[in-house]
Amino acid sequence: MRIILIFIILLGLSFIVSASMVKTSVEEGETIYTNTDDLDKGWNIIPGTFLPNGIESDSEIQIEDISAMWYYHPLNKEYIRIYPSPEIDKLQQADDDLVLTSAMWIYSKKAGTFKYSTIEKYPPLEQRGLYSGWNFISITPDMIDIPYKDIVGVCVIQKQYIFQEGEWFWFDALEIDSFLEGKALVLKVQDDCTLKSAEPGVSSGIEPPPIPEKASVCEDTDGGINYEVKGTVTDRNSNNAVYTDFCITSGTSGDVVLQGGVVREHYCGEHNYNYEFYNCPNGCVDGACQ
């Protein structure tokens, strides 16, 4: 997956589509919001809700326009399906407050405006806990125009991304600007912690794309070692060198004599591209076994 390093503080992110969160209920410092978000066609990450209950009647995107919704459980380190066919057993074991105040993956069949209620009350920022590993954070109005270092407090942030237009972008900003309201941050933290905290510790309690662990330096169009499909490997460690699978009818490789239908199969190794020879039982044509 291609990871692009961007500096939000310079010019702003022109590709960020609009979103806004409006308070609809406030009780004892906890807030329910109505979020209006322009979704891309495909995968998006938005503040959580429950479908179809949360969708407003005047939303352009309705339940028939949504293919899937998933929640990432930061304690169990797993995805839980919200829609369709909610994984009720797993959800019942999870903290409702944590689930519905987290950001979630949503797959939209079309681009358009999605207006919905967050349903659950968001606690004050200083009571929103993060857990060791990955966390999907809803960007609420109380996070806007505050120095980022004050928001994360003592949390040790190891990685920080936003997801837009089908790609991961590294987040690097001094503060969260208003155009990110109603969007999401995906943070990896070293230990359990609380936002805006001065002391460590947590105060309260179709498959989606993978979370990026590191930038990809090698890409293989046939998904790895796949003798039946002709693939092309791009090695970004070698100035984007390209290697395409091909057939060999005769020749040698070191001390090995190659005879008959042999494919030279390229694939991504641990650090860059690699290859191997494979004798196709039924012959090799145009870079793939028959």
Assess contact for 105 and 44: CB atoms under 8 A.
yes
The pLDDT value given to residue 12: 42
Q: Is the pTM of this model over 0.85?
A: no
Strand ranges, E, within 28-156: 30-39, 42-47, 66-73, 78-83, 103-108, 112-117, 129-130, 133-138
| H-assigned helices in the chain | 8-11, 88-93, 96-100, 148-152
pLDDT tens-digit series, residues 19-70: 789 999 998 889 999 999 999 999 999 999 999 999 999 999 999 999 999 9
Q: 17-21 long-range CB contacts below 8 Å, 24 or more apart?
A: 17/164, 18/179, 19/46, 19/180, 19/181, 19/182, 19/183, 20/181, 20/182, 21/47, 21/118, 21/140, 21/141, 21/181, 21/182
Residue numbers in the chain where pLDDT is lower than 70? 1-18, 198-206, 212-216, 250-260, 271
